[in-house]
Structure 1
Amino acid sequence: MTEPLASIQPVGQDIWRISVPVPPSQFPGGFSFNQYLVVDERPLLFHTGPKKLFGQVREQIEKVLPVDQLRYIAFSHVEADECGALPDFLALAPQARPVCGRVAAMVSISDLVDVEPVALDDGQVLDLGRHQLVWQDTPHLPHGWECGYLFDRTTGTLFCGDLFTQPGTGDVALVTHDILGPSEAFRREMDYFSHSRDAQTMVEKLARLEPSLLACMHGSAWKGDGAALLRSLGTALAH
């Protein structure tokens, strides 16, 4: 059987999903690592992927634009699949800066790389040109004191990181069917949530943004009533 290959496909206006699959031969049932490229006056990459996948991610990005055109390299929290290849991208994109929450910048990124990060406060806007991205602090949701997400209020896209992690190789870039069921089944087997006392409050905070596209880090991106799906997640986390 031919193993799945890395790919890049559009999932929204100026938004491309890069996906590097991990076949079942390497991870039971298969898995996927997604990065999202926002093409604009100041292009942004959300997630870098692990350092070992840098070559594959770079190759996919360059099908759309040269890597040295990147201006922002953003991520939810400090973890190998979120920002493991950050130094590699910064080396090839001399005008790029890391983008993260203020806590991540303070405790990790200012020391891990030599390029000064753009440290965003909760609710702060990052202007890409056409797209306006708003940082959302969500400490410990699902994990990491520094965790947070970017919401593109221009397109209604929530770059939601590890939320709604789905098993499998994520062959379909964008779906409209249920992803909560598969993600909850995966969580029952490998619970990656911190179960913070404020989890439901933060899920509701994200739901009030009323996203119409969820850019998931693992599995397919999802289109639909994001507020309802997030509230269903909040209910599941309460049990």
Structure 2
Amino acid sequence: MARIDEIESDVFRLSIFSTESGFQYNAFLVRDEEPLLYHTGPKSLFFQFSQAVASLIDLKQLRWISYSHFESDECGALNEWLTIAPQAEAVIGIVGAAVNGEFAIRPIRSLQDNEVFSTGKKSFRYLRTPHLPHGWDAGLLFEETDRTLFTSDLFHQNGDVEPVTEASLIDRFKEVLHNSQGPFSNYIPYTLHTEQMLRKLADLKPKTLAVMPGSSYKGDGKSAIEELIKVFQEM
């Protein structure tokens, strides 16, 4: 079963390390009146992730499923989750819903940039971030109550690392970028709009960064993202 760690109040990091890929697949369950799952994990890991979620909530109570962009680790098991949780609804950006909507077995709720929805005690803001980390459908969720930013592949780290850290993630992230070769070169592209989008994320002043592959981060999220901007400028 996936390792479970509570990284913020009622925000649980579910993690499975893959020896094949050399990094962790992390999903995040937000336990609230209307529970939310961020990242579905790939189909091959659905059983392990669903067992972990079932240890925290009744699977039939899962209400929302979200992810950044169309990719197997982000949403590969979406239909498996929609099947096991009959009242669950996928909620993503308007572009993702438009171009990938037929992938899901039930209609997807689409969100405009900066649209906010509530799961009960927690409030989520959708942030459209095309090509950050990658894909023109990309977007991120920011939980405004406890100031948790779900960063997807931003701050990607390899290895079977600790669940959460207060140390800088930059050196680990730089290693991933510098080792990306062949079809994985330009893994996270730097466009004319990248810095502007990152500065908007920094301005949110997140206290927790919920990272998909690697350790999550607790601390000064604004400074962490500003460090990230310098890394991209040096690429």
TM over 0.5: yes
1:96 counterpart = 2:88: yes
Which letter maps to 1:41?
E
Distance 2:111 2:119 in 1: 14
Cα RMSD of the aligned pairs, angstroms, is 1.0
- Taking structure 2 as the reference length, the TM-score comes to 0.95
Q: Which runs of 5+ in 1 are unaligned?
A: none
Q: Which runs of 5+ in 2 are unaligned?
A: 181-185
**Correspondence 1:122-201 to 2 at 5 A:** 122-170=113-161, 172-190=162-180, 191-201=186-196
| 1:161-197 deviation line (CA, Å, top 9, x unaligned) | 0000001023x21111111110111111014112211
Which letter maps to 1:111?
E
- Taking structure 1 as the reference length, the TM-score comes to 0.94
**Aligned match of 1:74:** 66
Q: What SS does the aligned partner of 1:55 have?
A: helix
Give the 4+ runs in structure 1 shifted more than 2 A: none
| 1:4-32 deviation line (CA, Å, top 9, x unaligned) | x6211100011000001112xx23xx310
Q: Relative to structure 2, which stretch is displaced further, 60-69 or 32-41? A: 60-69
Q: Relative to structure 2, which stretch is displaced further, 155-164 or 192-201? A: 192-201
1:45 counterpart = 2:37: yes
**Aligned match of 2:216:** 221
Does the 8 A contact of 2:82 with 2:105 survive in 1?
A: no
Does the 8 A contact of 1:142 with 1:195 survive in 2?
A: no
| 1:183-230 deviation line (CA, Å, top 9, x unaligned) | 111111014112211100000010000001000000111001000110
| 1:56-92 deviation line (CA, Å, top 9, x unaligned) | 1011111111221100000000000000000000001
Q: What SS does the aligned partner of 1:238 have?
A: helix
Shift of 1:54: 0.4
Shift of 1:114: 2.6
1:61 counterpart = 2:53: yes
Does the 8 A contact of 2:156 with 2:213 survive in 1?
A: yes
Distance 1:78 1:67 in 2: 23
Identity of aligned residues (%): 38
Count residues with an aligned counterpart. Answer: 229
